[in-house]
Amino acid sequence: MATPSPPRLLPYPAMLISPMPILFLAAGPLAAVHFPSRCRLRLRLRFTHAVAAAAAATTPENNFAVEDYLIANCHLTQPQALKASKNLAHLKSPANADAVLAFLDGLGFSPKEVAAAVASNPRILCARIERSLAPISAELRALGLSHSQIARLAKIAGRYFLCRSFVSKVEFWLPLFGSPERLLQASDWNYWLLTSDLEKVVEPNVAFLKQCGLSACDISKLLVAAPRLVTMHPEYVQDSVRRATQLGVSPGSQMFRHAISTAGCIGQEKVDAKIAVLRETLGWSQEEVSLAISKAPRILVASEERLRRNAKFLVNEVGLAPQYIARRSVLLMYSLERRLMPRHLVVKLLKKRRLIEQDRCFFNVVAPTEDKFLEKFVAPFEDCIPGLGDAYDSACAGNAPVTTEQ
C-alpha cells in the first residue's frame, strides 16, 4: 500500500484567503474550482490585498529622520522639532523641504526667521513653491512689505499664510493702519486680523464704525487698543457701540473710540460695579460719573481696587476735591506706587522749601512723561536739595519715600 504524501504547505498570501477550505486551494488553480462568480471575485480581492501586505512588509523603512532634519536645517530646538515633526510624518524625503528652505533663503529669511516660520507652521515645508509661496511672496512685496516683514507675517499667520485669501486681507488692512509695521504690531496682539472672514465679519464691522463717525485713523487706533473688536461678530460690535453711547460719550467726540474699546472688552456687570465704587468713594452724582467717563472712558478698565486706592489717596493725601478729580479722571488710572505717590512727595517737599508755587496744579505734575517730570521738578533743584533724584528713584521703586532731611 502506497504511503500518502504529506500535505502541501500553502504560500502565506494563499493561507489568508478565508473562509474557503484549504482542500480547494491545494487541489488546483483557483479558476479550476467552480464557485459562484461573486465568491470568485471576493477571493481574488483578498488574494490581491494579501500580496500587497506581504510586499509592504518587505519594503525597507523610511530613512528620512524628520526631527533631525528640523533641528539641523530649520534651526528648531529639540522640543520644537518634536512637536513639528508630528505634522510632517508623511514626508519620505527632504526634497520639497530643501526647495522651500532655498526659496526662503532667496527671499532673505534669516535662520531665526526660518525657525519661527517653520515652528509656527511646519507644513510650510510641504508647500508648492510655484503655486503658493512664490506668488504670495511676490504680491506681498508689491504691497510694500520687506522680506523681514513677510517673515514676521508668516510666523504670525501660521497655516493661514498659504491661503489664497491671505494677500487680499493684508491689502484690506494696510490703508487702515497706514503702514505694514503698524499692521504687524496689531496682528501680533490679534492674529485674527489676518484670518477672519473679510466679507462676513471685518468689512461689515469697519463700515458700521465709519457710519458711527469714526475715521480711518480712528479705526486704526481702535484696532491697536482693542484689536479683537472688529474681528468679532457684527452684532457684538453694534452692542459695544450702543453701550459706549450709554456711558455718556458722544459719537462725534475724540473719546468715542476709547468708549467703544472699553465697552468692547468689559461687560455691563463690571461697568456697573466700578461706577458703584466711584460713587461710594468719591460721592459722585450721576452727572459727575458721566463727566468723568466722558473725559477718560478707560478708567472703567482699571480694577476696582486701583480705583478705590487712587481715589482715597487723591482726596485724603493730596487734598483734591472730588469735582476736580471728575474733570481730570485720568488720575484714577495712574499707578499709585510708581507715579502718584513719588511725584506728590517731591512736589510736597518743593512747596515746603518754597521752591515752587503753593497752588501748583497737581494734574500738571503727574500728567507729564517721566523725562519731562525729571527735567522740570527734579534736575533744577538737586543743588538746593542734594540727593533729590536718588530719593525720587527710591520712592518709585517702593523703598523709602522722599524725605525733607538734607
- Which cell goes with 119? 515652528
What was the pLDDT predicted at 51?
46
Q: Is the pLDDT of residue 322 over 80?
A: yes
What is the structure's pLDDT at 63? 67
User: Which range among 12-26, 211-225, 361-375 has the greatest average pLDDT?
Assistant: 361-375
More confident residue, 339 or 31: 339
pLDDT tens-digit readout, 177-198: 889 998 998 888 888 888 888 9
Query: Tens of pLDDT along 229-246?
Result: 888 999 999 999 999 998
Higher pLDDT, 30 or 362: 362
The mean per-residue pLDDT over the stretch 346-350 comes to 91
Query: For residue 166, what pLDDT band results from cuts at 50, 70 and 90?
Result: very high
The whole-number pLDDT of residue 378 equals: 92
The pLDDT score that the predictor gives to residue 177 is 86
Maximum mean pLDDT: which of 29-33, 63-67, 326-330: 326-330
Residue of 56 and 87 predicted with greater confidence: 87
**For the chain, what is the mean pLDDT?**
83
**Mean pLDDT within 163-189:** 89
- pLDDT, position 57: 42
> Average pLDDT in the 105-132 region?
91
Q: Rounded mean pLDDT of 369-380?
A: 93
296-313: average pLDDT: 94
> Which whole number is the average pLDDT over 382-406?
77
pLDDT at res. 285 = 93
Look at residue 108 in the predicted model and tell me its pLDDT.
86
Q: What mean pLDDT do residues 143-166 have? A: 90
- What is the pLDDT averaged over residues 344-349? 91
